[in-house]
Structure 1
Amino acid sequence: MTYASLSPQAALPSPSTAVWQLGPVPIRAYALCIIVGIVLACWVTERRLRQRGVAPGAVLDIAVWAVPTGIIGARIYHVLTSPEKYFGAGGDPMKAFAIWEGGLGIWGAVAGGAIGAWIAARQLGIPFSVVADALAPGLPLAQAVGRIGNWFNNELYGGRTTLPWGLEIHRMDPDNPGHALRDDAGQPILEPGLYQPTFLYEALWNLGVVALVLVLDRKLRLGRGRAFAVYVMGYTVGRFWIELMRTDEANQIFGVRLNVWTAALVFLGALLYFVRVRGPREYLIPLGAAATPTPPTTSDVSQVDLSEQEAGARAAAPEGYRVVSEEQFRTWQDTGVAPPEPADGDDDGSDEPAPTGDPARADGTRDAHDGERADARPADRDS
């Protein structure tokens, strides 16, 4: 007899297997979900970066730094908040490096990923706030997909419930990770009753955060990292009440789970940032070889050498970027003429990008470099 008969018929099932063997290589469902989430986040971020003027492919340069540092940060947070598993009585310090056995903290992942993204942004010459705002809807989308991995692992569920969407939980085999224990008939054993599917609540909440960021960003034209602050506030509100429902083992402070306190503090920090920071959305104009936008062609497709265009696009890597207003960016896209760079000492200390206008100096002269750049653009665009 199994415990399955103790559960009502209406229930959400759980997989009994979370690991599959491909020869000697284990394929873990949780890892696959994380990878799919990262790919989706990169796709969303790439589109949003390009809408703000960043050259194609920049997200890959950012991901090369952000993904490894995010994983390291996630593991560090887990180890620091559960030290007894590794450094307490009976603990094994070397297990702290066994990341494949599970144990990642989203707070450390965001912090570590932010450090990596900041390093990459500096190398690319992109303001970090632009990267953060571009990532804002992609990150909760990745988290939503990642929570499906918790479903495969039969973990991160809440207390007992009689709701029709109550979750069946398998009793997992400690000697065969990723597989449920089985009875004498070979059937997977279920824990008695149904449980709150808190992983599902968080996944759905994260999808709502994606929509919230996109709507507010479109309506308010958020910039200076404020779209990312909206994501942080939205996520932490959900994490606060969902964390209170969870029953898995966790360290507590004053009888409250540590992650509840973390969610509250991070929310307050994001709220303070959102309220205090002001400024328009930043747009970027590339400098150097890629300083001229590629205009749409009106010629017959058969007469266009696509291989030559692609080779030229790959060679034209920006040397850096200038921050401009949306109006200046649209003008540059339409005409190929960049707004003049502010002269030394012309910065008034405001948050607004340099205004458009004639690049003439106050004394009536023009900078030779400005003149050459403006004169060269029409020829470049016609070539």
Structure 2
Amino acid sequence: MYPPVDPIIFEFGPIALRWYGLLMATAVLVGSTIASREVARRGQNPEDFWDMLFWVLIPAFIGARLYYVFIQSPRDGNGIGRYLENPIEIFQIWTGGIHIFGAFIFGGIALWLYCRIRRLPVLVFLDSIALSLPLAQAIGRWGNFINQELYGSPTTLPWGLRIDPQHRIGPYRDLNTYPDSTHFHPLFLYEFLWNAIGFVILFWISRRFNTQLKDGDMTLLYLLWYPFGRFFIEFLRTDSWFFPGTPFNIVHILCAISVVLCAAVLYLRHRRTELVR
């Protein structure tokens, strides 16, 4: 499997249109369109969603970038030294390097504040975004493919991904041990498939069990589904800091907490409903 195109679509002087940016914009547009329609289906004004979008997206992207730079940045011997030595690179988001967990934290806080200020139902808007988010993530993962990032350890599997030496990290830059023909686990592809399947399942649940679902259920289901898959994908990552002597990192802990907590909350809130009946 090889990246099929140059990361840059075209350049005009200092301006460059990159596939990464285009795919991210497409992901946001597609996800937002689905979310706004879900907001309308649930009896709210979709214009409120579009008004809110700007105030949520900016903090979400800032959080996603900061999480990547200070927590998830490739451990190539310098840690975050590369960004501290050249702070301007922190703002060069178009070159890749964002983390969904940072977007969750900053975007979630921004959404909660906006809804409280505008007196909007927080859970309805969260559910609408949760429904569309897996599809948006699936689209965005192809930007990782083109940028030759989000890959795992070496593999001999037929769908292995070739990574150019200049895009490799850590020990994989040693061409004597890992020659140019070495292939790596395409983690972007695993996440694409997991997110695409997740969107189909969540969409089906939202229609099939429409009358049984409570406000907030779709958010809980998303926060159960995505972290569950991400937990196992993390074992294949090569750009994370792992707790010494273990195969676990901070994302494993966050994913495990999310899955257990969301499963428990879902069970308890619906068990309570059954007992009332």
Do both share a fold (TM > 0.5)? Answer: yes
Secondary structure class of the residue paired with 1:161: coil
Match of 1:371 in 2: none
Match of 1:262 in 2: 254
Equivalent residue letter for 2:190: Y
Distance 1:173 1:212 in 2: 35
The 1:111/1:278 distance shift into structure 2, 3 A limit, reads: farther
- Contact 1:15–1:154 (Cα < 8 Å) also in 2: no
Q: Residue 16 of structure 1: CA displacement?
A: 5.5
Per-residue deviation, residues 76-110 of structure 1 (Å, max 9, x unmatched): 32234158644x59942725733434331110111
Equivalent residue letter for 2:258: V
Aligned with residue 51 of structure 2, among 58, 61, 85: 61
Aligned with residue 277 of structure 1, among 241, 266, 269: 269
Distance 2:79 2:183 in 1: 28
- Contact 2:69–2:90 (Cα < 8 Å) also in 1: no
Secondary structure class of the residue paired with 2:17: strand
- Contact 2:149–2:167 (Cα < 8 Å) also in 1: no
Distance 2:15 2:8 in 1: 10
Superposed counterparts of 1:1-383, under 5 Å = 12-15=1-4, 17-23=6-12, 24-82=14-72, 85-86=79-80, 91-92=84-85, 94-95=87-88, 97-100=90-93, 101-172=95-166, 191-221=180-210, 222-246=213-237, 248-254=238-244, 255=246, 256-278=248-270
Equivalent residue letter for 2:141: R
Secondary structure class of the residue paired with 2:165: coil
Distance 2:214 2:166 in 1: 46
The 1:14/1:127 distance shift into structure 2, 3 A limit, reads: same
Per-residue deviation, residues 168-208 of structure 1 (Å, max 9, x unmatched): 2223379xxxxxxxxxxxxxxx8322222111111011011
Per-residue deviation, residues 224-246 of structure 1 (Å, max 9, x unmatched): 21111101111011111111122
Distance 1:89 1:14 in 2: 25
Over alpha carbons, which structure has the higher Rg? 1
Distance 1:90 1:151 in 2: 23
Per-residue deviation, residues 89-139 of structure 1 (Å, max 9, x unmatched): 994272573343433111011121112222332344321000011112211
The 1:200/1:92 distance shift into structure 2, 3 A limit, reads: same
Equivalent residue letter for 1:31: G
Where in structure 1 are there 5+ consecutive unaligned residues?
Answer: 1-11, 175-189, 280-350, 352-383
- Contact 1:50–1:56 (Cα < 8 Å) also in 2: yes
The 1:173/1:199 distance shift into structure 2, 3 A limit, reads: closer
Where in structure 2 are there 5+ consecutive unaligned residues?
Answer: 169-178
Equivalent residue letter for 1:139: L
Per-residue deviation, residues 126-165 of structure 1 (Å, max 9, x unmatched): 2100001111221111111110000001111122222222
Equivalent residue letter for 1:108: G
- Contact 2:220–2:266 (Cα < 8 Å) also in 1: yes
Equivalent residue letter for 2:57: V
Higher helix share: 2
Distance 1:134 1:205 in 2: 19
- Contact 1:41–1:141 (Cα < 8 Å) also in 2: yes
Secondary structure class of the residue paired with 2:255: helix
Q: Residue 166 of structure 1: CA displacement?
A: 2.0
- Contact 1:166–1:194 (Cα < 8 Å) also in 2: yes
Equivalent residue letter for 1:219: R
Higher relative contact order (CA 8 A, sep 6+): 2
Secondary structure class of the residue paired with 1:26: strand
Secondary structure class of the residue paired with 1:241: helix
The 1:18/1:56 distance shift into structure 2, 3 A limit, reads: same
Distance 1:201 1:227 in 2: 22
Provide the aligned C-alpha RMSD in A.
2.7
Match of 1:341 in 2: none
Equivalent residue letter for 2:87: M
- Contact 1:73–1:111 (Cα < 8 Å) also in 2: yes
Distance 1:260 1:211 in 2: 25
- Aligned residues between the structures: 253
Distance 2:140 2:134 in 1: 10
Equivalent residue letter for 2:51: D
The 1:173/1:237 distance shift into structure 2, 3 A limit, reads: closer
